[in-house]
Amino acid sequence: MELDIYIVDAFTKQQFKGNSAAVVPLQQWLAPEVMQSIAAENNLSETAFIRALSVNKYEIRWFSPLTEIDFCGHATLASSYVIFNHLGGQGEIEFVTREVGALFVNQLSDDRIEMSFPNQCPQVVERAPDALLAGLSVTPIQVLKNRQAYFAVMASEHDVKSLSYSSEQLKQLAPFDVVVTAKASAITNEYDFISRYFWPANGGDEDPVTGSIHAGLAPYWAQQLAKNDLVAYQASQRGGILFCNIVNDRVLVSGFAVLYLKGTAYI
């Protein structure tokens, strides 16, 4: 069996920045263990498998090297890039998911790809887990949680950029991941808030850019900063910029993407 495969750098205009995702279009679903093996072989944060249901309507599933993932933003952006640029897609794309409902995607006039996610604003936890506090070198000023991750809010941008972490400690929080975040420093004019994302239980140590978590980060910071249009920076080694907008019960997250590789997988 021969399968087309694309590798796209998401949330960036530059190759080798942002977060890489593999995209594999399918006619029919493969066995889950085969899709998991492909994702492990790719060894990227996520491999997205997409299956057309009708014009501009696709099922999508995401796999990390370790497990199937409920929700992945950057691989959704990468999949949309492939559909718009290589599969003839035009107008609005609808993705049908198993865990988070329908996702809607449009391409903007400046070539950004805009995704509509359900609002997943986190809620404050009464007591931060010991493994979370032990796993981060800086103590957060507040801890929240949504269905995906613990949110550790830090006092400063410097705290987010400089902190170290223990994967062994954070792994104990499974199935939840961890995002650390802070308001951007006063001298920064390019973005409103900053984050880093750790997911040792589900995929790897630090994720380069995590679109899905901004369905929680954006509404949190919209409340804190009293503004609905925000620009976010994920401060991994590769780095990535995300444009966020809160509209009713939806979070619009957009970014650029660039193709790195198109090839054939022989299964």
Domain ranges of the chain: 2-117+253-266, 123-248
Question: Active site residue: 41, 46, 157, 190, which one?
Answer: 46
What pLDDT, on the 0 to 100 scale, is given for residue 188? 67
Judge whether 46 counts as a catalytic residue: yes
- Summarised one tens digit per residue, pLDDT across range 222-267 is 999 999 999 999 999 999 999 999 999 999 999 999 999 999 999 9
Count other C-beta atoms under 10 Å from residue 248's C-beta: 6
pLDDT class of 202 with cuts at 50, 70, 90:
confident
User: At residue 231, what are phi and psi to the nearest 5 degrees?
Assistant: -115, 130
- Summarised one tens digit per residue, pLDDT across range 48-77 is 999 999 999 999 999 999 999 999 999 999
Global confidence as pTM = 0.92
CA pair distance 161, 195, nearest whole angstrom: 8
CA pair distance 132, 125, nearest whole angstrom: 12
Beta-sheet pairing, 123-124 with 93-96: unpaired
Per the CB < 8 A criterion, the answer to whether 73 and 249 are in contact is no
**Rounded mean pLDDT of the chain?**
96
Per the CB < 8 A criterion, the answer to whether 94 and 50 are in contact is no
User: At residue 20, what are phi and psi to the nearest 5 degrees?
Assistant: -85, 140
Tokens of 8: 């796209």
What pLDDT, on the 0 to 100 scale, is given for residue 204? 76
Lowest mean pLDDT among 50-64, 98-112, 133-147, 187-201: 187-201
Q: Is the pLDDT of residue 187 over 80?
A: no
- Two domains, one topology: 2-117+253-266 and 123-248: yes
User: At residue 164, what are phi and psi to the nearest 5 degrees?
Assistant: -110, 170
Quickly name the fold that domain 2-117+253-266 has: Diaminopimelate Epimerase; Chain A, domain 1 (3.10.310)
pLDDT over 70 percentage in the chain: 99
179: nearest Cα among 206, 139, 141? 206
Write the DSSP symbol of residue 93.
Answer: E
CA pair distance 113, 255, nearest whole angstrom: 6
| Domain over 123-248 is classified CATH 3.10.310.10 | yes
